[in-house]
Amino acid sequence: MRHTVAGGRRVGAIVFLLCCPIAAAVSSEFVSVDRDNIVLARERPELDALGIPAGGFRIYPSLTVGTIYDTNVFDRATGTGDGFLQIGPKITVQSGWSQNFLRFTGDAEIERFARIHSENNERYGVDALARVDVTHNMVVELDALFGRRAETRGSSGDVVAGSRPIIFYDAGGHISLTTTAGAVTAKGRLDLDDYRYNDAQVGNQFFSQRYRDHRATTALVELNFPLTPAISAVTSASFNDSSYTNTLPGLAPLDSNGFTTLAGVRFGVSSVTTGQITAGYLRQSYRAAVFPTIEGVNYDARIVWNPTTLLAVTATANRSIEPSPIANVAGIVADGAGAKADYEVLRNLLVNLRADYLREAYRGSDRRDRRVSAGAGVRYMINRTLQLGVQYDFRDQTSRGAGARPYRGSDVLLQLTVQR
């Protein structure tokens, strides 16, 4: 339930979105990433929100209210606990056309703490996403977004001890083209993001975060071609560039560019076991000679096991290079692994268990972090209008080196969602 960089504490950790399938000839942004998870992908039309008709569109409003108690609000070695209220309004407007698709989304998260009022904050975002069915075998997607976000407590981006939550803004979007030629599927995608950071505030003092302002560009090409009815070969290459607009006096710029390659297999053994396993190479080079080039083995894997129609187990592992939020650190090599289980007790009652591991190596520094987290939750879909959730999460980070930040904490959430 701790918030993520992309948008707030994990308010929706237990409110799994049961995405309605949208017809498309090829793989699309609109297809749920949990499509292989038999529990989450199962259609439950009697429990889905009906929405409000508006011409060729439907409007889906919702409001989520949660009460949370966190034993270590700041994620520091000495924990300070507090409870808070979290309010999350959301509205989605999407087309109901037989061809092409258009969706607008707006959401917000408002947090109000019982005692630690300096943690009170508001986050919001808007997003417009379109799919154009050029032909039966070709789909173009365009997306534009803007968001006011907050750095995660305890993450690498939470860099100023004792500060209020560090606020930043993300404006950007993507364009992608997916096409099939015979049995081969090809995809190209271009992502653009512009990040701007507010100053960190500690009491009446302000610490500039402008050195973190940057523009990030990523281009991806991916190919998928079948080898047998159950196995496909997949390969991808991505290229990225990060351009920083401000540099602190006396410190090296953080500008960088790099690429990643991956190759492997996508498989489906009936509907019981599906997944993708790839490995390759990654490299990130920095404009400043003082920062070493980061390079090495790359990997990404996701396996879903559905032993029964009521149980799904998902395992993931991946490596990435994250941009540094620290002025004298080039980048962060992040290795993550996780597992979760989703079980359908009743058609309208789902439970989940999860465990995650993250290792972060700060290049240009001797800091090393290892974080273990685990959680369990219940989602009760009372009817089309009401959903109730309960979630418990635990986290433990060991840390060494310059700026080390060990901590341990847990939180519990009770959440009610009203939807139309």
What is the residue-averaged pLDDT of the chain?
90
Judge whether residue 35 has pLDDT over 80.
Answer: no
**Residues whose CB falls within 8 Å of the CB of residue 71, separated by 6 or more in sequence, listed in order:** 79, 81, 409, 410, 411
Judge whether residue 21 has pLDDT over 50.
Answer: no
CATH number for position 259: 2.40.160
pLDDT bracket for residue 252 (50, 70, 90): confident
- Indicate the number of domains in the chain: 1
Q: What is the pLDDT of residues 275-319, one digit of tens each?
A: 999 999 999 999 999 899 999 999 999 999 999 999 999 999 999
pLDDT bracket for residue 62 (50, 70, 90): very high
Q: Provide mean pLDDT across the span 206-233.
A: 94
How large a percentage of the chain has pLDDT more than 70?
Answer: 92
Judge whether residue 114 has pLDDT over 80.
Answer: yes
Judge whether residue 86 has pLDDT over 60.
Answer: yes
Q: Which domain holds residue 226?
A: 3-419
